[in-house]
Structure 1
Amino acid sequence: MGKSDGRALFVRREAHIPAPPASVFALLTDPEKILRWMGTEAQIEPQPGGLYLVNVTGARFARGSFREVVPVHRLAYSFGWDGSEVVPPGSSLVEIDLADEAPNGTLLRLTHTGLPNAEQCAGHNEGWAHYISRLAVAAAGKDPGPDPMAGRVG
């Protein structure tokens, strides 16, 4: 098994966020601000080797550690799920780049590599699409409301 079917196994998302990179970076790295758009609890240490731990749905923890932290422009952290044999903690890599967009917006590019199969790529693609749209709402100063994925284990 592997990548022989010609499809590269990764997730890539791009989004235009109506806030400057510094605001978006804070929403990605400040544990209290993360909870505005994703998760029920978060422990984030945004420095190389620091912990990334977010209870995404209230039923499932994503866990990894930061590899790169370039304030307001880039984050990279290992990623996986507590208790998962398919995508164990730290087994994949999430990279987020934030680029200035005039007048005061941000282009967010997310790449998630190291996922084991197409099914996991599809699932994580759906998850990131959902949470990045909530991030955009929070960045605009609005409340994205209760997370419809709350309680989901899958």
Structure 2
Amino acid sequence: MPDDLVVRRETRIAAPPAAVFALLTDPEQILRWIGTEAQMDPQPGGLYLLNVTGTRFARGAFREVVPVHRLAYSFGWEGSEVVPPGSSLVEIDLIEQPDGTLLRFTHTGLPTAEQCAGHEEGWTHYIDRLAVLAGGRDPGPDPWLGRDDGRL
């Protein structure tokens, strides 16, 4: 796959991997930093469904779940022909560090550089909110609620 069609991000989070993992997989906890509705069944083949901004649902299925260490799930947008449900892959590794967790994020399978740029902007926004929350602070209301412009 072309390297320019991959979204990558590494973020240090001041919390242990188990706390970060819960914020990524528990439907109630995930809504503290992203989305308005969530259904998560974090086991291989289980549903990943998240209403990200209150207007757009991301849908996929968990492919790999290694508690507190790794998640991989298919990802796409309901109603989208460009990035349909399950058409791309999100992989998240949580690596224990002396001061917390290194979150290593990769999103592959996006069809265009424009889609990569939009998803990179979105993931940066939401991973930053995750890091704030996991670090013990309130990220505040999501300024992107209601957004429906084709980006994450």
Normalising by structure 1, what TM-score? 0.94
Distance 1:99 1:66 in 2: 19
Question: After superposition, where does 1:2-151 map in structure 2 within 5 Å?
Answer: 3=2, 7-103=3-99, 105-151=100-146
Distance 1:74 1:99 in 2: 9
Runs of 5+ in structure 1 lacking a partner?
Answer: none
Aligned length: 149
Distance 1:92 1:17 in 2: 25
Q: CA RMSD in A?
A: 1.1
- Aligned with 1:64: secondary structure? strand
Superposition misfits of 4+ residues, deviation over 2 angstroms: none
Report the Cα offset of residue 143 of structure 1: 1.3
Runs of 5+ in structure 2 lacking a partner?
Answer: none
Report the Cα offset of residue 140 of structure 1: 1.4
Distance 2:145 2:24 in 1: 19
Distance 2:9 2:115 in 1: 15
